[in-house]
Structure 1
Protein backbone atom coordinates (compact mmCIF):
# COMPACT_ATOMS: atom_id res chain seq x y z
CA UNK A 1 0.00 0.00 0.00
CA UNK A 2 1.34 3.47 -0.84
CA UNK A 3 2.55 5.30 2.26
CA UNK A 4 3.71 8.84 2.97
CA UNK A 5 6.81 8.83 0.69
CA UNK A 6 4.88 7.31 -2.23
CA UNK A 7 1.97 9.74 -1.90
CA UNK A 8 4.26 12.74 -1.44
CA UNK A 9 6.16 11.67 -4.55
CA UNK A 10 2.87 11.48 -6.44
CA UNK A 11 1.86 14.90 -5.08
CA UNK A 12 5.02 16.55 -6.36
CA UNK A 13 4.77 14.91 -9.77
CA UNK A 14 1.07 15.69 -10.16
CA UNK A 15 1.67 19.36 -9.40
CA UNK A 16 4.30 19.38 -12.14
CA UNK A 17 1.97 17.70 -14.63
CA UNK A 18 -1.58 18.98 -13.99
CA UNK A 19 -1.61 21.96 -11.60
CA UNK A 20 -3.25 24.88 -13.41
CA UNK A 21 -4.73 22.62 -16.08
CA UNK A 22 -8.40 21.95 -16.77
CA UNK A 23 -10.07 18.54 -16.59
CA UNK A 24 -11.50 18.07 -20.07
CA UNK A 25 -13.16 14.70 -19.51
CA UNK A 26 -13.89 12.18 -16.75
CA UNK A 27 -14.30 8.46 -17.31
CA UNK A 28 -15.62 6.19 -14.56
CA UNK A 29 -15.31 2.47 -15.18
CA UNK A 30 -16.05 1.39 -11.61
CA UNK A 31 -18.90 3.22 -9.89
CA UNK A 32 -17.82 2.06 -6.41
CA UNK A 33 -14.59 4.03 -6.77
CA UNK A 34 -16.53 7.32 -6.49
CA UNK A 35 -19.00 8.52 -3.86
CA UNK A 36 -21.59 10.18 -6.08
CA UNK A 37 -23.85 9.17 -8.91
CA UNK A 38 -21.39 8.90 -11.84
CA UNK A 39 -23.26 11.49 -13.91
CA UNK A 40 -23.26 13.99 -11.05
CA UNK A 41 -19.59 13.28 -10.35
CA UNK A 42 -18.64 13.79 -14.01
CA UNK A 43 -20.65 17.00 -14.33
CA UNK A 44 -19.15 18.39 -11.11
CA UNK A 45 -15.55 17.73 -12.11
CA UNK A 46 -15.47 18.25 -15.89
CA UNK A 47 -14.16 21.65 -17.04
CA UNK A 48 -12.74 22.37 -13.60
CA UNK A 49 -9.15 23.59 -13.26
CA UNK A 50 -6.91 21.72 -10.80
CA UNK A 51 -5.51 24.53 -8.68
CA UNK A 52 -3.08 22.41 -6.67
CA UNK A 53 -2.60 18.92 -5.23
CA UNK A 54 -1.95 18.57 -1.50
CA UNK A 55 -1.33 15.56 0.73
CA UNK A 56 -2.58 14.57 4.16
CA UNK A 57 -1.21 11.29 5.49
CA UNK A 58 -1.80 8.70 2.77
CA UNK A 59 -4.44 10.85 1.04
CA UNK A 60 -4.10 13.25 -1.87
CA UNK A 61 -6.36 16.27 -2.23
CA UNK A 62 -7.01 17.68 -5.72
CA UNK A 63 -8.28 21.23 -5.13
CA UNK A 64 -10.56 22.34 -7.94
CA UNK A 65 -11.33 25.86 -9.12
CA UNK A 66 -14.96 25.67 -7.91
CA UNK A 67 -13.87 24.97 -4.31
CA UNK A 68 -14.55 21.24 -4.49
CA UNK A 69 -11.88 18.70 -3.53
CA UNK A 70 -11.17 15.28 -5.02
CA UNK A 71 -9.98 13.10 -2.14
CA UNK A 72 -7.86 10.12 -3.19
CA UNK A 73 -6.85 7.11 -1.13
CA UNK A 74 -5.17 4.39 -3.19
CA UNK A 75 -5.34 1.69 -0.49
CA UNK A 76 -3.85 -1.76 -1.15
CA UNK A 77 -2.77 -2.27 -4.76
CA UNK A 78 -3.67 1.19 -5.99
CA UNK A 79 -1.40 3.32 -8.18
CA UNK A 80 -1.48 6.08 -10.79
CA UNK A 81 -0.12 6.76 -14.24
CA UNK A 82 0.07 9.97 -16.28
CA UNK A 83 0.32 9.79 -20.07
CA UNK A 84 -1.41 9.33 -23.38
CA UNK A 85 -3.70 6.51 -24.49
CA UNK A 86 -0.96 4.84 -26.51
CA UNK A 87 1.43 4.50 -23.57
CA UNK A 88 -0.99 3.69 -20.74
CA UNK A 89 -0.38 0.46 -18.76
CA UNK A 90 -2.19 -2.68 -19.84
CA UNK A 91 -4.17 -2.73 -16.62
CA UNK A 92 -7.79 -2.18 -15.63
CA UNK A 93 -8.50 1.54 -15.23
CA UNK A 94 -11.13 2.41 -12.62
CA UNK A 95 -11.18 6.19 -13.16
CA UNK A 96 -9.56 8.47 -15.75
CA UNK A 97 -9.18 12.24 -15.61
CA UNK A 98 -8.33 13.78 -18.97
CA UNK A 99 -6.35 16.93 -19.65
CA UNK A 100 -6.62 17.13 -23.41
CA UNK A 101 -4.48 14.34 -24.89
CA UNK A 102 -2.93 13.48 -21.52
CA UNK A 103 -4.70 11.57 -18.78
CA UNK A 104 -4.30 10.60 -15.14
CA UNK A 105 -5.19 6.92 -14.80
CA UNK A 106 -6.28 5.56 -11.43
CA UNK A 107 -5.43 1.88 -11.35
CA UNK A 108 -6.18 -0.83 -8.79
CA UNK A 109 -8.90 1.10 -6.95
CA UNK A 110 -10.67 -2.06 -5.83
CA UNK A 111 -10.33 -0.92 -2.22
CA UNK A 112 -9.27 2.67 -2.85
CA UNK A 113 -11.45 5.59 -3.86
CA UNK A 114 -11.66 9.01 -5.49
CA UNK A 115 -14.36 10.97 -3.68
CA UNK A 116 -15.66 14.48 -4.24
CA UNK A 117 -16.26 16.77 -1.25
CA UNK A 118 -16.53 20.44 -0.42
CA UNK A 119 -13.77 21.97 1.72
CA UNK A 120 -15.69 21.60 4.97
CA UNK A 121 -16.58 17.95 4.44
CA UNK A 122 -13.08 16.94 3.39
CA UNK A 123 -11.76 18.43 6.63
CA UNK A 124 -14.24 16.27 8.55
CA UNK A 125 -13.12 13.19 6.61
CA UNK A 126 -9.50 13.78 7.62
CA UNK A 127 -10.10 15.17 11.12
CA UNK A 128 -9.03 11.99 12.93
CA UNK A 129 -5.56 11.87 11.37
CA UNK A 130 -2.53 12.38 13.59
CA UNK A 131 0.34 14.80 12.97
CA UNK A 132 2.48 14.81 9.84
CA UNK A 133 5.87 13.30 10.81
CA UNK A 134 7.89 15.37 8.34
CA UNK A 135 6.42 18.74 9.27
CA UNK A 136 9.07 20.95 10.93
CA UNK A 137 6.66 21.80 13.74
CA UNK A 138 6.40 18.12 14.72
CA UNK A 139 9.28 18.16 17.17
CA UNK A 140 10.96 15.51 19.29
CA UNK A 141 9.07 16.83 22.32
CA UNK A 142 5.78 16.41 20.45
CA UNK A 143 6.71 12.82 19.62
CA UNK A 144 7.72 12.00 23.19
CA UNK A 145 4.48 13.50 24.46
CA UNK A 146 2.47 11.34 22.05
CA UNK A 147 4.25 8.22 23.29
CA UNK A 148 4.02 9.10 26.97
CA UNK A 149 0.66 7.48 27.69
CA UNK A 150 0.60 4.85 24.94
CA UNK A 151 0.60 1.10 25.39
CA UNK A 152 1.03 -1.88 23.09
CA UNK A 153 3.59 -2.87 20.46
CA UNK A 154 5.55 -0.09 18.79
CA UNK A 155 4.87 -1.51 15.31
CA UNK A 156 1.11 -1.40 15.89
CA UNK A 157 1.26 2.17 17.16
CA UNK A 158 3.30 3.41 14.19
CA UNK A 159 0.61 1.97 11.92
CA UNK A 160 -2.13 3.88 13.75
CA UNK A 161 -3.08 6.81 11.51
CA UNK A 162 -4.62 8.65 14.46
CA UNK A 163 -1.23 8.51 16.20
CA UNK A 164 0.95 9.65 13.28
CA UNK A 165 -0.32 10.03 9.71
CA UNK A 166 1.27 8.34 6.72
CA UNK A 167 3.34 5.45 8.08
CA UNK A 168 2.36 1.94 6.97
CA UNK A 169 3.69 -1.58 6.94
CA UNK A 170 6.90 -0.97 5.00
CA UNK A 171 8.19 2.11 6.77
CA UNK A 172 7.23 1.00 10.26
CA UNK A 173 9.61 -1.94 9.76
CA UNK A 174 12.32 0.23 8.21
CA UNK A 175 12.07 2.82 10.99
CA UNK A 176 12.32 0.21 13.74
CA UNK A 177 15.29 -1.39 12.00
CA UNK A 178 17.11 1.92 11.64
CA UNK A 179 16.49 2.62 15.34
CA UNK A 180 17.67 -0.87 16.35
CA UNK A 181 14.36 -1.59 18.09
CA UNK A 182 12.46 -4.83 17.63
CA UNK A 183 9.04 -4.23 16.08
CA UNK A 184 7.19 -6.25 18.74
CA UNK A 185 8.68 -4.32 21.67
CA UNK A 186 6.08 -2.85 24.02
CA UNK A 187 6.09 0.93 24.09
CA UNK A 188 6.25 1.01 27.88
CA UNK A 189 9.51 -0.98 27.75
CA UNK A 190 11.24 1.49 25.40
CA UNK A 191 13.37 4.00 27.30
CA UNK A 192 13.80 7.69 26.49
CA UNK A 193 17.13 7.31 24.62
CA UNK A 194 15.52 4.73 22.33
CA UNK A 195 12.44 6.93 21.90
CA UNK A 196 14.71 9.78 20.86
CA UNK A 197 16.38 7.49 18.33
CA UNK A 198 13.01 6.30 17.05
CA UNK A 199 12.06 9.90 16.27
CA UNK A 200 15.34 10.53 14.44
CA UNK A 201 14.99 7.24 12.55
CA UNK A 202 11.45 8.12 11.51
CA UNK A 203 12.60 11.42 10.00
CA UNK A 204 15.63 9.83 8.34
CA UNK A 205 13.84 6.85 6.77
CA UNK A 206 10.87 8.83 5.43
CA UNK A 207 13.07 11.56 3.96
CA UNK A 208 15.43 9.01 2.40
CA UNK A 209 12.53 7.07 0.91
CA UNK A 210 11.02 10.27 -0.50
CA UNK A 211 14.37 11.28 -1.96
CA UNK A 212 14.44 7.99 -3.89
CA UNK A 213 10.81 8.04 -5.03
CA UNK A 214 9.36 5.55 -2.52
CA UNK A 215 9.23 1.79 -2.83
CA UNK A 216 6.37 1.29 -5.35
CA UNK A 217 7.80 0.00 -8.62
CA UNK A 218 5.31 1.28 -11.21
CA UNK A 219 6.55 4.48 -12.95
CA UNK A 220 4.23 7.50 -12.90
CA UNK A 221 4.94 8.48 -16.48
CA UNK A 222 6.95 7.24 -19.44
CA UNK A 223 10.61 7.87 -18.71
CA UNK A 224 10.06 8.23 -14.94
CA UNK A 225 13.34 7.11 -13.36
CA UNK A 226 12.55 8.25 -9.81
CA UNK A 227 9.38 6.50 -8.69
CA UNK A 228 10.12 3.17 -7.01
CA UNK A 229 13.82 3.87 -6.48
CA UNK A 230 13.62 3.01 -2.80
CA UNK A 231 12.38 -0.52 -3.47
CA UNK A 232 15.93 -1.89 -3.71
CA UNK A 233 17.09 0.19 -0.74
CA UNK A 234 14.75 -1.34 1.84
CA UNK A 235 16.90 -2.97 4.50
CA UNK A 236 14.36 -5.37 6.04
CA UNK A 237 10.98 -4.99 4.38
CA UNK A 238 10.19 -7.96 2.11
CA UNK A 239 13.73 -9.32 2.64
CA UNK A 240 12.91 -12.49 4.56
CA UNK A 241 15.83 -14.94 4.59
CA UNK A 242 18.39 -12.39 3.37
CA UNK A 243 21.40 -11.26 5.36
CA UNK A 244 21.17 -8.17 7.52
CA UNK A 245 23.37 -5.41 6.09
CA UNK A 246 24.31 -4.30 9.59
CA UNK A 247 25.23 -7.48 11.44
CA UNK A 248 25.06 -10.29 8.88
CA UNK A 249 22.20 -12.04 10.67
CA UNK A 250 19.17 -13.44 8.89
CA UNK A 251 16.09 -11.28 8.44
CA UNK A 252 12.91 -13.03 9.50
CA UNK A 253 9.21 -12.45 8.96
CA UNK A 254 6.53 -12.65 11.64
CA UNK A 255 2.91 -11.58 11.90
CA UNK A 256 2.09 -8.71 14.25
CA UNK A 257 -1.54 -7.60 14.45
CA UNK A 258 -2.21 -9.58 11.25
CA UNK A 259 0.54 -7.64 9.42
CA UNK A 260 3.66 -9.11 7.83
CA UNK A 261 6.59 -7.77 9.79
CA UNK A 262 10.27 -7.98 8.85
CA UNK A 263 13.18 -7.49 11.26
CA UNK A 264 16.63 -8.68 12.25
CA UNK A 265 16.41 -10.66 15.50
CA UNK A 266 20.13 -10.18 16.09
CA UNK A 267 20.60 -6.40 16.02
CA UNK A 268 17.08 -5.17 16.77
CA UNK A 269 16.81 -5.38 20.53
Structure 2
Protein backbone atom coordinates (compact mmCIF):
# COMPACT_ATOMS: atom_id res chain seq x y z
CA UNK A 1 0.00 0.00 0.00
CA UNK A 2 1.36 3.49 -0.82
CA UNK A 3 2.45 5.17 2.40
CA UNK A 4 2.96 8.85 3.21
CA UNK A 5 6.08 9.37 1.05
CA UNK A 6 4.47 7.75 -1.98
CA UNK A 7 1.29 9.80 -1.60
CA UNK A 8 3.31 12.99 -1.15
CA UNK A 9 5.30 12.18 -4.30
CA UNK A 10 2.02 11.75 -6.21
CA UNK A 11 0.70 15.01 -4.73
CA UNK A 12 3.77 16.91 -5.93
CA UNK A 13 3.47 15.33 -9.36
CA UNK A 14 -0.20 16.29 -9.69
CA UNK A 15 0.54 19.79 -8.39
CA UNK A 16 3.07 20.25 -11.18
CA UNK A 17 0.67 18.90 -13.82
CA UNK A 18 -2.18 21.12 -12.59
CA UNK A 19 -0.12 24.25 -11.84
CA UNK A 20 -1.99 26.38 -14.40
CA UNK A 21 -5.30 25.85 -12.58
CA UNK A 22 -7.22 24.16 -15.43
CA UNK A 23 -11.01 23.94 -15.33
CA UNK A 24 -12.46 20.54 -14.54
CA UNK A 25 -14.79 19.95 -17.48
CA UNK A 26 -15.95 16.37 -16.90
CA UNK A 27 -15.67 13.49 -14.43
CA UNK A 28 -15.95 10.22 -16.34
CA UNK A 29 -16.57 7.16 -14.19
CA UNK A 30 -15.90 3.79 -15.79
CA UNK A 31 -17.50 1.97 -12.85
CA UNK A 32 -19.81 3.13 -10.02
CA UNK A 33 -17.68 1.92 -7.13
CA UNK A 34 -14.27 0.95 -5.82
CA UNK A 35 -13.88 0.01 -2.16
CA UNK A 36 -17.12 1.97 -1.65
CA UNK A 37 -19.62 3.60 -4.03
CA UNK A 38 -18.24 6.70 -5.78
CA UNK A 39 -20.54 9.69 -5.00
CA UNK A 40 -20.92 10.84 -8.60
CA UNK A 41 -23.63 13.42 -7.87
CA UNK A 42 -21.67 15.11 -5.09
CA UNK A 43 -18.46 15.13 -7.14
CA UNK A 44 -20.31 16.72 -10.06
CA UNK A 45 -20.39 19.90 -7.92
CA UNK A 46 -16.73 20.36 -8.89
CA UNK A 47 -17.37 20.34 -12.66
CA UNK A 48 -16.88 23.77 -14.19
CA UNK A 49 -14.49 24.89 -11.44
CA UNK A 50 -10.77 25.68 -11.58
CA UNK A 51 -8.48 23.17 -9.87
CA UNK A 52 -6.77 25.48 -7.37
CA UNK A 53 -4.47 23.20 -5.38
CA UNK A 54 -3.55 19.63 -4.53
CA UNK A 55 -3.10 18.90 -0.84
CA UNK A 56 -2.40 15.82 1.25
CA UNK A 57 -3.73 14.79 4.64
CA UNK A 58 -2.23 11.55 5.93
CA UNK A 59 -2.51 9.15 2.95
CA UNK A 60 -5.37 11.08 1.32
CA UNK A 61 -5.14 13.50 -1.60
CA UNK A 62 -7.45 16.53 -1.84
CA UNK A 63 -7.95 18.19 -5.23
CA UNK A 64 -9.37 21.59 -4.31
CA UNK A 65 -11.70 23.96 -6.12
CA UNK A 66 -13.51 26.91 -4.56
CA UNK A 67 -16.61 24.73 -4.11
CA UNK A 68 -14.85 21.87 -2.35
CA UNK A 69 -12.44 19.05 -3.04
CA UNK A 70 -12.23 15.59 -4.50
CA UNK A 71 -10.86 13.26 -1.82
CA UNK A 72 -8.75 10.43 -3.21
CA UNK A 73 -7.10 7.48 -1.48
CA UNK A 74 -4.87 5.22 -3.59
CA UNK A 75 -5.77 2.03 -1.73
CA UNK A 76 -3.39 -0.82 -2.50
CA UNK A 77 -2.68 -0.28 -6.20
CA UNK A 78 -4.06 3.12 -7.22
CA UNK A 79 -2.11 5.46 -9.51
CA UNK A 80 -2.75 8.80 -11.24
CA UNK A 81 -1.27 9.67 -14.62
CA UNK A 82 -1.73 12.00 -17.57
CA UNK A 83 -3.72 10.03 -20.15
CA UNK A 84 -4.01 11.67 -23.58
CA UNK A 85 -6.57 10.23 -26.05
CA UNK A 86 -5.52 6.73 -27.04
CA UNK A 87 -3.92 5.98 -23.66
CA UNK A 88 -6.78 3.96 -22.20
CA UNK A 89 -5.65 1.04 -20.04
CA UNK A 90 -7.18 -1.94 -18.32
CA UNK A 91 -8.29 -1.00 -14.79
CA UNK A 92 -8.67 2.72 -15.57
CA UNK A 93 -11.71 3.57 -13.45
CA UNK A 94 -11.89 7.39 -13.49
CA UNK A 95 -10.96 10.01 -16.08
CA UNK A 96 -10.82 13.69 -15.13
CA UNK A 97 -11.15 15.92 -18.20
CA UNK A 98 -9.69 19.42 -17.87
CA UNK A 99 -9.46 22.46 -20.10
CA UNK A 100 -6.47 22.55 -22.42
CA UNK A 101 -7.08 18.96 -23.55
CA UNK A 102 -5.66 17.60 -20.30
CA UNK A 103 -6.97 14.27 -19.06
CA UNK A 104 -5.97 12.49 -15.85
CA UNK A 105 -6.62 8.80 -15.34
CA UNK A 106 -7.02 6.96 -12.06
CA UNK A 107 -6.04 3.30 -12.46
CA UNK A 108 -6.53 0.71 -9.71
CA UNK A 109 -6.30 -3.03 -10.49
CA UNK A 110 -7.34 -4.19 -7.02
CA UNK A 111 -10.03 -1.49 -6.59
CA UNK A 112 -9.25 -0.63 -2.96
CA UNK A 113 -9.14 3.09 -3.71
CA UNK A 114 -11.61 5.59 -2.28
CA UNK A 115 -13.22 8.80 -3.55
CA UNK A 116 -15.49 11.35 -1.94
CA UNK A 117 -16.53 15.00 -2.00
CA UNK A 118 -15.19 17.20 0.82
CA UNK A 119 -15.89 20.76 1.91
CA UNK A 120 -14.62 20.72 5.49
CA UNK A 121 -11.85 18.15 6.01
CA UNK A 122 -12.09 18.46 9.80
CA UNK A 123 -15.63 17.09 9.66
CA UNK A 124 -15.09 14.27 7.17
CA UNK A 125 -15.27 10.81 8.81
CA UNK A 126 -12.07 9.65 7.10
CA UNK A 127 -10.08 12.70 8.21
CA UNK A 128 -11.33 13.83 11.59
CA UNK A 129 -9.53 12.39 14.57
CA UNK A 130 -6.27 11.88 12.69
CA UNK A 131 -2.99 12.49 14.48
CA UNK A 132 -0.35 15.08 13.54
CA UNK A 133 1.52 15.15 10.26
CA UNK A 134 5.02 13.76 10.97
CA UNK A 135 6.84 16.30 8.80
CA UNK A 136 5.39 19.32 10.62
CA UNK A 137 6.28 21.07 13.86
CA UNK A 138 3.16 19.55 15.40
CA UNK A 139 5.00 16.24 15.64
CA UNK A 140 7.99 16.01 17.97
CA UNK A 141 9.49 13.67 20.53
CA UNK A 142 7.51 15.44 23.26
CA UNK A 143 4.15 14.95 21.49
CA UNK A 144 5.03 11.36 20.59
CA UNK A 145 6.04 10.49 24.16
CA UNK A 146 2.89 12.04 25.60
CA UNK A 147 0.65 10.19 23.15
CA UNK A 148 2.21 6.86 24.14
CA UNK A 149 1.38 7.16 27.84
CA UNK A 150 -0.72 4.17 28.84
CA UNK A 151 -0.21 2.39 25.50
CA UNK A 152 0.65 -1.25 26.17
CA UNK A 153 0.95 -2.23 22.49
CA UNK A 154 4.33 -2.71 20.80
CA UNK A 155 5.99 0.54 19.77
CA UNK A 156 5.89 -0.45 16.12
CA UNK A 157 2.13 -0.97 16.27
CA UNK A 158 1.75 2.36 18.10
CA UNK A 159 3.59 4.49 15.55
CA UNK A 160 1.45 2.95 12.79
CA UNK A 161 -1.69 4.12 14.63
CA UNK A 162 -3.07 7.03 12.59
CA UNK A 163 -4.42 8.67 15.74
CA UNK A 164 -0.89 8.94 17.16
CA UNK A 165 0.88 10.06 13.98
CA UNK A 166 -0.32 9.78 10.40
CA UNK A 167 1.32 8.13 7.44
CA UNK A 168 3.99 6.00 9.12
CA UNK A 169 3.24 2.73 7.37
CA UNK A 170 4.84 -0.66 7.67
CA UNK A 171 8.01 0.01 5.68
CA UNK A 172 8.86 3.29 7.40
CA UNK A 173 8.00 2.07 10.89
CA UNK A 174 10.54 -0.75 10.57
CA UNK A 175 13.18 1.52 9.06
CA UNK A 176 12.70 4.33 11.59
CA UNK A 177 12.89 1.96 14.55
CA UNK A 178 16.12 0.48 13.19
CA UNK A 179 17.63 3.92 12.71
CA UNK A 180 16.62 4.85 16.27
CA UNK A 181 17.97 1.60 17.74
CA UNK A 182 14.60 0.66 19.24
CA UNK A 183 13.27 -2.89 19.07
CA UNK A 184 9.77 -2.98 17.54
CA UNK A 185 8.39 -5.22 20.30
CA UNK A 186 9.13 -2.72 23.09
CA UNK A 187 5.97 -1.71 24.97
CA UNK A 188 5.08 1.77 23.71
CA UNK A 189 4.50 3.12 27.21
CA UNK A 190 8.04 2.08 28.20
CA UNK A 191 9.69 4.29 25.58
CA UNK A 192 11.71 6.92 27.43
CA UNK A 193 11.35 10.63 26.75
CA UNK A 194 14.90 10.74 25.35
CA UNK A 195 14.31 7.81 22.99
CA UNK A 196 11.04 9.37 21.85
CA UNK A 197 13.06 12.39 20.69
CA UNK A 198 15.37 10.12 18.72
CA UNK A 199 12.49 8.17 17.16
CA UNK A 200 10.57 11.28 16.12
CA UNK A 201 13.73 12.65 14.51
CA UNK A 202 14.37 9.41 12.61
CA UNK A 203 10.76 9.20 11.41
CA UNK A 204 11.11 12.68 9.94
CA UNK A 205 14.49 11.89 8.35
CA UNK A 206 13.40 8.62 6.77
CA UNK A 207 10.10 9.94 5.41
CA UNK A 208 11.88 12.98 3.96
CA UNK A 209 14.57 10.84 2.36
CA UNK A 210 11.98 8.56 0.80
CA UNK A 211 10.16 11.55 -0.69
CA UNK A 212 13.46 12.78 -2.17
CA UNK A 213 13.94 9.36 -3.80
CA UNK A 214 10.42 9.20 -5.20
CA UNK A 215 9.04 6.78 -2.61
CA UNK A 216 9.31 2.99 -2.48
CA UNK A 217 8.16 1.16 -5.60
CA UNK A 218 7.05 -2.26 -4.42
CA UNK A 219 4.42 -3.96 -6.55
CA UNK A 220 2.34 -1.34 -8.40
CA UNK A 221 3.39 2.07 -7.07
CA UNK A 222 4.33 4.69 -9.65
CA UNK A 223 4.60 8.47 -9.57
CA UNK A 224 2.17 10.65 -11.54
CA UNK A 225 4.90 10.86 -14.20
CA UNK A 226 4.92 7.07 -14.47
CA UNK A 227 8.39 6.77 -12.92
CA UNK A 228 9.21 4.37 -10.12
CA UNK A 229 10.58 5.37 -6.74
CA UNK A 230 14.02 4.30 -5.49
CA UNK A 231 13.87 4.30 -1.70
CA UNK A 232 13.56 0.50 -1.66
CA UNK A 233 17.20 0.30 -2.72
CA UNK A 234 18.16 1.84 0.64
CA UNK A 235 16.20 -0.52 2.93
CA UNK A 236 18.31 -1.46 5.96
CA UNK A 237 15.96 -3.97 7.59
CA UNK A 238 12.61 -4.01 5.79
CA UNK A 239 12.11 -7.19 3.75
CA UNK A 240 15.62 -8.41 4.70
CA UNK A 241 14.70 -11.33 6.98
CA UNK A 242 17.61 -13.76 7.55
CA UNK A 243 20.03 -11.46 5.74
CA UNK A 244 23.00 -9.93 7.61
CA UNK A 245 22.40 -6.65 9.39
CA UNK A 246 24.05 -3.80 7.49
CA UNK A 247 25.55 -2.53 10.75
CA UNK A 248 26.64 -5.55 12.78
CA UNK A 249 26.29 -8.56 10.48
CA UNK A 250 23.81 -10.42 12.69
CA UNK A 251 20.84 -12.04 10.97
CA UNK A 252 17.82 -9.75 10.56
CA UNK A 253 14.79 -11.12 12.37
CA UNK A 254 11.15 -11.00 11.32
CA UNK A 255 7.85 -11.36 13.14
CA UNK A 256 4.23 -10.44 12.57
CA UNK A 257 3.16 -7.54 14.80
CA UNK A 258 -0.30 -6.05 14.54
CA UNK A 259 -0.92 -8.21 11.48
CA UNK A 260 2.08 -6.82 9.59
CA UNK A 261 5.52 -8.28 8.86
CA UNK A 262 8.14 -6.59 11.01
CA UNK A 263 11.91 -6.63 10.57
CA UNK A 264 14.67 -5.75 13.05
CA UNK A 265 18.16 -6.52 14.32
CA UNK A 266 18.17 -7.90 17.87
CA UNK A 267 21.74 -6.70 18.37
CA UNK A 268 21.35 -3.11 17.16
CA UNK A 269 17.84 -2.55 18.50
CA UNK A 270 17.07 -2.69 22.22
> What TM-score comes out, normalization by structure 2 length?
0.87
Aligned counterpart, 2:95: 96
Aligned counterpart, 1:4: 4
Correspondence 1:218 to 2:222: yes
Aligned counterpart, 2:131: 130
Paired with 1:37 and 1:155, the residues of 2 have a C-alpha distance of 35
Correspondence 1:229 to 2:230: yes
Paired with 1:36 and 1:258, the residues of 2 have a C-alpha distance of 29
Contact 2:3–2:168 (Cα < 8 Å) also in 1: yes
CA RMSD between the two structures: 2.3
SS in 2 for 1:106: strand
Q: Number of residues paired by the alignment?
A: 263
Aligned counterpart, 2:176: 175
Contact 1:7–1:59 (Cα < 8 Å) also in 2: yes
Poorly superposed stretches of 4+, deviation over 3 Å: 33-38, 85-88, 120-125
Aligned counterpart, 2:107: 107
Q: Structure 1 residue 141: deviation in Å?
A: 2.0
Over residues 156-184 of structure 1, what are the superposed CA-to-partner deviations in whole Å (9 max), with x where a residue is unaligned? Answer: 11111111111111111111111111112
Q: 1:175 to 1:91 in 2, by over 3 A?
A: farther
Contact 2:177–2:199 (Cα < 8 Å) also in 1: yes
Over residues 40-64 of structure 1, what are the superposed CA-to-partner deviations in whole Å (9 max), with x where a residue is unaligned? Answer: 2563333221110111111111111
Aligned ranges 1:115-264 → 2 under 5 Å: 115-119=116-120, 123-216=124-217, 217-222=221-226, 224=227, 227-264=228-265
Q: 1:91 to 1:232 in 2, by over 3 A?
A: farther
Over residues 137-172 of structure 1, what are the superposed CA-to-partner deviations in whole Å (9 max), with x where a residue is unaligned? Answer: 433322222223322101111111111111111111
SS in 2 for 1:70: strand
Q: Structure 1 residue 86: deviation in Å?
A: 4.3
* Runs of at least 5 residues in structure 2 that lack an aligned partner in the other structure: none
Paired with 2:74 and 2:32, the residues of 1 have a C-alpha distance of 15
* Runs of at least 5 residues in structure 1 that lack an aligned partner in the other structure: none
SS in 2 for 1:71: strand
Q: Structure 1 residue 191: deviation in Å?
A: 2.6
Q: 1:22 to 1:265 in 2, by over 3 A?
A: same
Contact 1:71–1:122 (Cα < 8 Å) also in 2: no
Q: Structure 1 residue 129: deviation in Å?
A: 0.3
Aligned counterpart, 2:25: 24
Contact 1:51–1:63 (Cα < 8 Å) also in 2: yes
**Greater mean deviation of Cα atoms: 29-38 or 208-217:** 29-38
Question: Which of the pair is proportionally richer in helix?
Answer: 1
> What TM-score comes out, normalization by structure 1 length?
0.88
